[in-house]
Amino acid sequence: MRNFTDKTENFEEMPVYIAIKDFFDSFFVERNYQKMLSLMTDDFEGIGTVEESVVRDKSEFVLSLKTELAIMTREISYEIESISAKDIREYDIVIITAAHSKFDYEMIQKNAKAIFDTRNAMKNIENRENIELL
């Protein structure tokens, strides 16, 4: 298990950046569910929102990954076109991994329960009570 409290001057050497990048690369780029599972803890509880769960435990997650990867083996690329206050309120945490100028960071701060800002994208936001700069 990585120590997410380690501090470093180089963003790309930060443990949380490495863990997130490894996780997303193993899913979206490598399409390797076994590597993705090796990056998860045993206390995994599910994926989804309060209203709807996609998977409820790690065994359902494994089945879901195997099914998806069997159907779609190629690399996935994606882009978020827009995000609303309602979207933000539905999640327990927002992780900012790239500083894009098209997002309203003040709206995100006002509606997020917690924010991990890995790029200091929210440097101009005055109210920082729910922002953790990594």
Q: Which residue has the higher pLDDT, 51 or 93?
A: 93
CB 118 within 8 A of CB 95: yes
Q: Taking residues 67-79, report their average pLDDT.
A: 75
Half-sphere exposure of 1 (CA within 13 A, CB side): 7
Of 47, 71, 95, which residue sits at a domain end? 71
The answer to whether the CB of 105 falls within 8 A of the CB of 87 is no
User: What range defines the domain where residue 57 resides?
Assistant: 11-71
88: tokens are 């933000």
Residue 78 resides in a domain? no
Which pTM does this prediction carry?
0.47
* CA trace torsion 90, 95, 98, 103 (10° rounding): 30
For residues 7 and 77, give the distance between their C-alpha atoms in angstroms, rounded to a whole number.
Answer: 30
Q: Look at residue 29 and tell me if it is in a domain.
A: yes
The CA distance from 27 to 74, in Å, is 10
Query: Has residue 13 got a pLDDT over 70?
Result: no
Q: Is residue 3 assigned to a domain?
A: no
- Within-domain flag for 18: yes
| In the chain, alpha helices (H) | 15-24, 33-38, 58-71, 85-89, 105-111
Q: Are residues 65 and 97 in the same domain?
A: no
Distance CA 4, CA 13 (A): 11
Structurally, the chain folds into a number of domains equal to: 2
Asked if the structure places residue 79 within a domain, the reply is no
84 pLDDT above the threshold of 80:
yes
Q: Quick: pLDDT tens for 102-125.
A: 789 999 999 999 999 988 999 999
Q: Do residues 20 and 64 both lie within one domain? A: yes
DSSP assignment, residue 95?
A: E
Same domain, 28 and 64: yes
Q: Give domain status of residue 77, yes or no.
A: no
pLDDT at 88 over 80: yes
Same domain flag for 55 and 20? yes
Q: Do 66 and 111 sit in the same domain of this protein? A: no
Same domain, 91 and 63: no
Q: How many CB atoms lie within 10 A of CB 17?
A: 19
Q: Are residues 67 and 17 part of one domain?
A: yes
